[in-house]
Amino acid sequence: MARRSESFVSATSVKLLSLVLALAGVTQAMAAENGQQRYSAGIGGSDMTTPLVPGWYVQMPMVAYHASKIKGNDGNAATSAIPGQSIRANTTIKADNRALLPRVTFLDSTRFLGANVGFTAMLPLVQRKATFGASAPSPYGAAPSGIPGVTLDQLLASRAASQNGSEIGIGDFEFAPLLHWEIGDHQAVTFTPTIVLPTGDYKATQRVNPGYGNFVTFRPSVQYAFIGDGWDVGARGVLSFNTRNKDTGYFSGNMFNLDWQLMKFVSDDVRVGLQGYFVRQLTKDTQNLSGFSGAQITALGGPKEIINGNKASVNAAGPAVGWLKNGGEMLLEGKFLKEFDARNRTEGQAFWLTVSKPL
């Protein structure tokens, strides 16, 4: 077996062109570029079923996301290619994302197509931290790497550690007009066609960034709310369409998100219930490095590994509790969401605390 290991590593000097590893969102892994999408899954909560009347509103969602699992296309622990070899490296991740997502919304009394018109804007402040690891499957780890005195495991671990990062900065600015319809007793629909611009701090050669990349996202959403006698039901469907990242040649596939909530008033001001989300990537990722020099490609870590389009999916659910001060002067909500059944992305959990207030 020792001879087989030596033959394996002597075929080429091991070089990790790409460990397909990344963060989840506010984010959020492997699919989409660096596993991140420009929609914070789970951000929709009791605010979806809070009555909306003409005026100004401010909202401050705060999220802390942690993941120590990264899943592959089959739902098992992810692996990464070692270029030129038939075996794959085992990969690990510890990812922590924290974000403040301040939003300002205005709804006017002017009507268009029967809806009140307005706008909403958000500019996030983001902290992302990730630690990556990689090792060869048994029995290859102790084999020589082609570098004197360095085993294959040591080289893989060093290459993975070079992806580590901890960054804090401004994220990507988003703006949207909105249309809000009251469609009957206790029911409302809101349509928000959002544009997200690449204003965030970003370096193409870094794996960890506050911004998502040099591309634009068009993100229309439709939100439905039923405010009942004790029970409230809300859902927000979101589609994300991305342009190609000019700095990396990477095109992240279209995404679908669904945030949902089911809440019940247990007193005049307090409601409890369940909230969660679904994430499904609808189209495949691609990458086109034509026009990039060899030096640029090397600086980017080579072409990304794309398996079956790197299409991501995940589900999440968890408890929530909200406090509505004096029937609407302020909404304070906390929730814990646990992810499960992830594919091509991280799998973790998130704590959310959201303050919403009309002005």
Question: Which residue type does 350 have?
Answer: A
Confidence (pLDDT) at 5: 40
Residue 200: CA count within 13 A, CB half-sphere: 32
Confidence (pLDDT) at 88: 87
May I ask the CATH class of domain 2-358? mainly beta
Confidence (pLDDT) at 31: 58
Tens-binned pLDDT, residue by residue, of the chain (359 aa): 344 444 433 333 333 223 222 222 222 334 567 777 889 999 998 889 888 899 999 999 999 999 999 998 888 888 887 766 778 888 899 999 999 999 999 999 999 999 999 999 999 999 999 999 988 888 888 888 778 888 888 888 888 888 899 999 999 999 999 999 999 888 999 999 999 999 999 999 888 999 999 999 999 999 999 988 888 999 999 999 999 999 999 999 999 999 999 999 999 889 999 999 999 999 999 999 998 999 989 888 888 888 888 999 999 999 999 998 877 789 999 999 999 999 999 999 999 999 999 98
Confidence (pLDDT) at 84: 65
SS (HEC) of the chain: CHHHHHHHHHCCCCCCCCCCCCCCCCCCCCCCHHHCCCCCCCCCCHHHHCCCCCEEEEEEEEEEEEEEEEECCCCCECEEECCCCCCEEEEEEEEEEEEECCEEEEEEEEEECCEEEEEEEECCEEEEEEEEEEECCCCCCCCECCCCCCEHHHHHHHHHHCCCEEEEEECCCEEEEEEEEEEECCEEEEEEEEEECCCCCCCCCCCCCCCCCCCCEEEEEEEEEEECCCEEEEEEEEEEEECCCCCCCEECCCEEEEEEEEEEECCCCEEEEEEEEEEEECCCCEECCCCCCHHHHHHCCCCCCCCHHHCCEEEEEEEEEEEEECCCCEEEEEEEEEEEEEECEEEEEEEEEEEEEEC
Confidence (pLDDT) at 29: 33
The phi and psi torsions of 35 (rounded to 5 degrees) equal 75, 15
> Can you tell me the distance from the alpha carbon of 77 to that of 91, in angstroms, rounded to the nearest whole number?
8
> The whole model's pTM is what?
0.86
Question: Shortest CA distance to 180 belongs to which of 137, 223, 135?
Answer: 223
Q: Are 48 and 225 in contact (CB under 8 A)?
A: yes
Q: What are the extents of the domains in the chain? A: 2-358
Distance set, CA 335 to CA 267, 272, 290, 326 (Å): 18, 10, 45, 21
Confidence (pLDDT) at 160: 87
